[in-house]
Amino acid sequence: MVNHMYLKLFIILTTVCISVNSLAEQTNIDKVKESILLILPDMEIDLVEQSEIPGMYTVLIGAEVFYVSEDGNYLLRGDLINIPKKLNLSEQKRTVARKNLLDIVPEKDFIHFSPDNPDHTVYVFTDVTCPYCQRLQGDIKDINEKGIAVKYLAFPRQGLDTPVATMMKKIWCSDNREEALLDAMIGLELDDVDCANPVVEQFSLGQALGVRGTPAIFTESGRYLPGYMPPEKLLEMLNEE
């Protein structure tokens, strides 16, 4: 009987401790969210969790990683490195976030250049007026021959209210998007077509992923390979994964 009473008391105390800790944890998370929204009021916070640093929380907005003190008074933006393991913990979180964001893009919204049964797939944010994007597209046959599929997304570098954005909307509205993309890159006029298209959404996605220029290449794992690289180098980078 006594042992039974002690067991009940232990369970009650344990439950109270867990509830108190959970409440304190939620209070800290709320403080962190409030602080972030003070300086980034238009941003949607995707995740707040305890970081590897005691007293600091990891905040994920899109694929951007921030660290905020539990009292909400201090914010750090940068890479958190585990020195003994030589791991970039921030980049690990960014990579997972990028993969998750790219995985939800509907397949029909990409422009595909792919071999049969590719060994690798890359996502490429492109701008048809970008010289290095044109150079990458000039390598597309070699890229495909190396077993790499390319899925293009639109990223008009100068913004959405620009002639290039209008051009890219025409590409995505064309009956043959692949041909229209090639025509635009060599300066040919496109048919004046309009439709519901994903250019705005893809541009916003690129910003959330941290795209600052084109071509911006992402692997299937979410790794970011900024800038043009020759097909041989691209294959080498993909084989490292």
So what's the pLDDT on residue 7?
A: 55
So what's the pLDDT on residue 34?
A: 87
Q: pLDDT digits over 139-195, tens only? A: 999 999 999 999 999 999 999 999 999 999 999 999 999 999 999 999 998 888 989
Domain that holds residue 163: 108-239
The mean per-residue pLDDT over the stretch 61-77 comes to: 91
Choosing from 102, 133, 165, the residue where a domain stops is 102
Residues 114 and 227 in one domain: yes
Residues 181 and 68 in one domain: no
Residues 23 and 117 in one domain: no
- pLDDT at 8 > cutoff 60: no
Residues 232 and 125 in one domain: yes
Choosing from 73, 102, 131, the residue where a domain stops is 102
CA-closest candidate to residue 227, choices 86, 130, 99: 130
- pLDDT at 220 > cutoff 50: yes
Residues 231 and 132 in one domain: yes
Marked catalytic residue, from 94, 98, 130, 183 = 130
Q: pLDDT digits over 168-182, tens only? A: 999 999 999 999 999
* CATH label of the domain that carries residue 55: 3.10.450.70
Residues 230 and 120 in one domain: yes
Annotated active-site residue 127? The verdict is yes
Residues 233 and 115 in one domain: yes
Marked catalytic residue, from 94, 98, 157, 223 = 157
pLDDT band at 17 (very low <50, low <70, confident <90, very high): very low
pTM above threshold 0.85: no
So what's the pLDDT on residue 16?
A: 42
Residues 189 and 224 in one domain: yes
Q: How many Å apart are CA 182 and CA 94, to the nearest integer?
A: 32
Residues 73 and 190 in one domain: no
Give the full edge-to-edge strand order of the sheet including 216-219: 111-113, 148-154, 120-126, 216-219, 224-226
Q: pLDDT digits over 101-125, tens only? A: 999 999 999 999 999 999 999 999 9
Marked catalytic residue, from 127, 139, 183, 223 = 127
Annotated active-site residue 133? The verdict is yes
CA-closest candidate to residue 63, choices 200, 218, 227, 241: 218
Annotated active-site residue 157? The verdict is yes
Q: What share of the chain is helix, strand, coil (3-state, %, to 5)?
A: 45, 20, 35
Residues 216 and 112 in one domain: yes
Choosing from 79, 102, 125, the residue where a domain stops is 102
Instruction: Please return the burial class of 220, using the count of CB atoms within 10 Å of its CB with bins 0-12, 13-18 and 19+.
Output: middle
* CATH label of the domain that carries residue 155: 3.40.30.10
So what's the pLDDT on residue 13?
A: 46
Residues 52 and 143 in one domain: no
Residues 157 and 224 in one domain: yes
Q: pLDDT digits over 33-43, tens only? A: 888 888 888 88
Q: How many Å apart are CA 167 and CA 143, to the nearest integer?
A: 25
Domain count across the chain = 2
Marked catalytic residue, from 133, 139, 173, 183 = 133
